[in-house]
Amino acid sequence: MIGKRVLEVKDLQTTFFTDDGEVPAVDHVDFHLEEGEILGIVGESGCGKSVTSLSIMGLVPNPPGKIVGGEILYDEKNLVHLSEKQMRQIRGNDIAMIFQEPMTSLNPLFTIGNQMIEAILLHEKGWSKKQAADRAVEMLKLVGLPRADELLKEYPHQLSGGMRQRVMIAMALVCNPKILIADEPTTALDVTIQAQILKLMKELNDRFGTAILMITHDLGVVAETCKRVIVMYAGQVIEEAPTKEIFDNPQHPYTKGLIQSVPDMREKKDRLYSIPGNVPKPGSIRSGCRFAARCEFAFDRCKKEDPELYQTADVHQTRCFLYDEERVKEDEHKAVVES
């Protein structure tokens, strides 16, 4: 059953203009986020995941970056065309973001209370500082932080990494946003705290129905939390399907490689699998499939033409000529049978 779409990204193109020329970091990306779902975007570093999230938030550094095409639709508005003043009303209020490293997102010169109260008063017009402080304490308790009243008086450096990340989640949720973008929310944390943060985000998703865009390179995080998965490579979406379908039936060679790269504790191996080669420098491949140089299944067409996203099932898409070739063979076989 298809839910209501709260966010639609259509043909998004974000380019960085450098001394070496134009670098397309996000290249004709399409996806949507449904009400109350957790959607994962997965891929190696440099694949365009974070730039996609910054594009949605209107936070691409300009210069050198700029959205040069496409639409980001939220509440019947195209966010690409909004002014900075209009985006400030949406940012934090309707669409909030948790950044990868909370220590660089929290201001070290201000207390936790100052920063949370400022965020609340920015969006909740007519509120007093006392009301905002009470709301901040309520949110800190909601994300499982002890002695919330005292935490308001403390500075970011006085908290552990896990506590800072919980503060960031509390700040992101303080205005009950409809969409939460989590950019590698557990990367800097140890595994125990990672599990706690993921459990917390799932609970908040269930409780408030907040749609979450989970950006990660960790397939374990995807398997644990996400309903659907988008796999990105070199600025493009190369596969999209429900999470179970991605793990049970990966179709793109890159996705298969990512899954093979995850160590299996049940099997003893002398050497872990790794995808050969490296992610290409953004903008370095002008024609052909961007994964062709690393792909064991590549053939001549892969190096000359850029594959489109092929619909391989009702809920599965992949950007690979192997599936186009199979379709051609099926059509030829059908024609032979019918004749």
pLDDT tens profile 130-171: 999 999 999 899 888 889 999 999 999 999 888 888 898 888
Residue 187 has pLDDT above 90, yes or no: no
- Any domain includes 71: no
Pick the more confident residue, 208 or 289. 289
Separation between Cα atoms, residue 279 and residue 47, nearest integer Å:
8
Residue that wins the pLDDT comparison between 213 and 201: 213
Given a cut of 60, whether residue 225 has pLDDT beyond it is yes
- How much is the pLDDT for 245? 95
Confidence bin at 337 (pLDDT 50/70/90): low
Instruction: Give the confidence band of 326 by pLDDT, cuts at 50, 70, 90.
Output: low
Task: Compute how many other C-beta atoms are within 10 angstroms of the C-beta atom of residue 96.
Answer: 25
Mean per-residue pLDDT over the chain, rounded: 88
**In the predicted model, what is the mean pLDDT of residues 273-282?**
84
**Angstrom distance (rounded) from CA 279 to CA 277:** 7
Q: Does the pLDDT value for residue 107 go beyond 70?
A: yes
The whole-number average pLDDT for the span 94-100 is 88
Structure token digits, residue 329: 């063979």
Average of per-residue pLDDT across 310-316 = 90
Nearest-angstrom CA–CA distance, 185 and 101:
8
User: pLDDT grade, residue 327 (50/70/90)?
Assistant: low
175 within some domain: no
pLDDT at 208: 86
Distance CA 246, CA 120 (A): 39
Q: Tell me how far apart the terminal alpha carbons of the chain are, to the nearest angstrom.
A: 38
Highest mean pLDDT among 55-69, 161-175, 280-294: 55-69
Q: 313 pLDDT exceeds 90?
A: no
Query: Considering its fold, how many domains does the chain have in total?
Result: 1
Spatial contact of 178 and 93, defined as CB atoms under 8 Å apart: no
What is the model's pLDDT at position 1? 44
Q: What percent of the chain has pLDDT over 70?
A: 94
Tell whether 323 is covered by a domain: yes
Indicate the pairing of strand 310-313 with strand 95-98.
unpaired
Read off the pLDDT of each residue in 88-109 and give the average, rounded to a whole number.
85
Is residue 133 included in any domain, yes or no?
A: no
| pLDDT tops 50 at residue 231 | yes
Q: What burial letters (b/e) apply to 254-280, b meaning 16+ CB within 10 Å?
A: bbbbbeeeeeeeeeeeeeeeebeeebb
Burial pattern 160-191, b for ≥16 Cβ within 10 A else e, equals eebbbbbbbbbbbbbbebbbbbbbbbbebbee
Considering the domain boundaries, does residue 44 fall inside one?
no
40-56 mean pLDDT: 92
Altogether, the residues listed in the chain come to a count of 339
At 201, the amino acid letter reads M
In a domain, 263, yes or no: yes
Residue 259 within a domain: yes
Residue-range definition of the domain harbouring residue 319: 254-339
Comparing C-alpha atoms, which of 151, 149, 150 is closest to residue 166?
151
Give the model's pLDDT for residue 310.
93
67, 132, 209, 292, 306 from 287: Cα distances, Å: 22, 54, 42, 10, 6
Which H or E run contains 26?
strand 21-34
Which of 90-104, 112-126, 141-155 has the weakest average pLDDT? 90-104
